[in-house]
């Protein structure tokens, strides 16, 4: 995989020019893209800034995020060839830092549950996940050192787990969603994919203009709460084994790990996630539904059909549960520095007919807290565990994730 931090080190030393770094990505795309199918479009002759903290870094942009120089097609034929007149705010930030938004990555239609045609480069025959499939797969295939995704349910963390890459879903609204196709304004969150934890940490610190987020001091002996989310169902045996392995690695690195049950109303909030998402999606996609319902996929059409029956009372009740749960979760972080929980039920499902179940991600998206996927090395299909921290404490989530990543690497 291409590492953003390694590329920047070579650029800073003069061993690589920004133009040469972009060519590395272009050459990797030429070699891998035909078999992976992670990209919708790309620039043939990009303008490469010669300076900036991300100069020479090629970036993949999920195709629900506006770009002025490439189409934004939302994964749907309804928007085939559509060219926004302006970049999304996050794309403008990338450009200001010297990065090159080189390619648009595949997405499920309107970031829905439908699969894309993208193939998982780390687990042939298995789904790369959704809806940020292209971003996860492009990084996993070594085509890009950084890619943007979005998460409304689990669309950053579980594709990262399935493809064996690092990712962060930051604290809610840490990165701007202006210019990103809305699914749920209470849930939609931009996220980042990279080769390792240090890559996404460095990128997030720059994009958010918060240097303290980048990997700082050693987290020492963090207190970690092991959360199995029993209300979400049991993980598959392979995931349970990966979680146990991560716990042992964390303890060897000095962490203190203890079981932590999530009290009410956190399980109730988890159950209400779908109400909030679908009630808002009904409005966010109202034009597409009203004027092109028959052109929508069967899955998305059915989801929006069912959403028509949701009431404002149910929506408000789910929001109240979420509000109370955020207060309870804040208190829990007085007892622990981070939580450890599965990124997905198990390895990526076989075949391309489904994107996987985000049931272990929904609560944290709803709570708006930072979540980091840490790949767990193994001989089989990729697996990942999720580090969760207090709202606004993205740096701590990344530091604990890096500690576990290092401990896992040391035993491999």
Element housing 2 (H / E): none
Measured distance CA(34)–CA(46) in Å, rounded = 20
Q: Which pLDDT belongs to residue 379?
A: 72
| pTM of model > 0.95 | yes
pLDDT digits (tens, 9 = 90+) for 190-243: 999 999 999 999 999 999 999 999 976 678 899 999 999 999 999 999 999 999
Q: Which pLDDT belongs to residue 174?
A: 98
Q: Which pLDDT belongs to residue 217?
A: 66
Residue range of the domain that includes 45: 1-412
- Structural domains in the chain (count): 1
Q: In this structure, are residues 146 and 6 in contact, taking their beta carbons and an 8 Å threshold? A: no
pLDDT digits (tens, 9 = 90+) for 118-165: 999 999 999 999 999 999 999 999 999 999 999 999 999 999 999 999
Closest CA to 68 of 35, 97, 99, 101: 101
Distance from the first to the final alpha carbon of the chain: 18
Q: Which pLDDT belongs to residue 250?
A: 98
Q: Which pLDDT belongs to residue 215?
A: 72
What mean pLDDT value characterizes the chain? 97
Q: In this structure, are residues 67 and 101 in contact, taking their beta carbons and an 8 Å threshold? A: yes
Q: Is the pLDDT of residue 52 over 80?
A: yes
Beta strands at 338-342 and 58-62: parallel, antiparallel or unpaired? unpaired
CATH code of residue 347 = 3.90.1300.10
Measured distance CA(157)–CA(149) in Å, rounded = 10
Q: Is the pLDDT of residue 390 over 90?
A: yes
In order, the DSSP letters of 91-148 are HHHHHHTT-EEEEEEP--GGG-S---S---TTSTTB---SSSHHHHHHHHTTS-SEEE
Q: Is the pLDDT of residue 329 over 80?
A: yes
Q: Which pLDDT belongs to residue 218?
A: 79
pLDDT digits (tens, 9 = 90+) for 268-294: 999 999 999 999 999 999 999 999 999
Mean pLDDT of 24-36: 98
């Amino acid at each position: 995989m291409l590492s953003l931090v390694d590329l920047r080190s070579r650029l800073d030393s003069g061993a690589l020019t920004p133009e040469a770094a972009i060519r590395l990505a272009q050459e990797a795309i030429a070699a891998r893209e035909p078999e992976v199918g992670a990209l919708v479009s790309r620039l043939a002759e990009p303008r490469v800034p010669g300076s900036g903290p991300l100069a020479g870094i090629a970036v993949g942009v999920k195709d629900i995020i506006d770009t002025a120089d490439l189409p934004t097609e939302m994964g749907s034929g309804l928007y085939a060839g559509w060219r926004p007149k302006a970049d999304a705010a996050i794309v403008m930030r990338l450009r200001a830092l010297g990065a090159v938004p080189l390619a648009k990555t595949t997405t499920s239609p309107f970031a829905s549950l439908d699969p894309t045609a993208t193939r998982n480069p780390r687990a042939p025959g298995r789904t790369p996940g959704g809806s940020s499939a292209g971003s996860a797969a492009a990084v996993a295939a070594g085509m890009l050192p950084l890619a943007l995704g979005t998460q409304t349910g689990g669309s950053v963390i579980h594709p990262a787990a399935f493809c064996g890459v690092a990712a962060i879903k930051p604290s809610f609204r840490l990165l701007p969603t202006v210019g990103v196709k809305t699914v749920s304004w209470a849930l939609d969150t931009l996220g980042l994919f990279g080769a390792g934890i240090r890559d996404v940490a460095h990128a997030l610190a720059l994009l958010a203009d918060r240097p303290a987020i980048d990997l700082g001091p050693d987290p020492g002996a963090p207190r970690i709460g092991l959360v199995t989310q029993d209300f979400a169902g049991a993980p598959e045996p392979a995931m349970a084994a990966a979680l146990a392995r991560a716990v042992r690695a964390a303890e060897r690195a000095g962490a203190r790990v203890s079981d932590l049950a999530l009290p009410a109303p956190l399980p109730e909030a988890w159950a209400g996630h779908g109400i909030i998402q679908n009630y808002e999606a009904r409005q966010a996609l109202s034009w597409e539904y009203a004027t092109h319902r028959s052109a929508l996929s069967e899955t998305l059409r059915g989801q929006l059909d069912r959403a028509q029956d949701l009431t404002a009372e149910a929506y408000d009740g789910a929001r109240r549960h979420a509000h109370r749960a955020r207060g309870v979760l804040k208190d829990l972080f007085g007892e622990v520095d981070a939580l450890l929980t599965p990124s997905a039920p198990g390895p990526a499902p076989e075949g391309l007919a489904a994107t996987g179940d985000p049931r272990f991600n929904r609560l944290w998206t709803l709570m708006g807290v930072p979540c980091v996927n840490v790949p767990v090395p193994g001989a089989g299909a990729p697996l990942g565990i999720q580090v969760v921290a207090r709202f606004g404490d993205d740096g701590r989530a990344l530091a604990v994730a890096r500690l576990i990543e290092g401990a896992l690497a040391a035993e491999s």
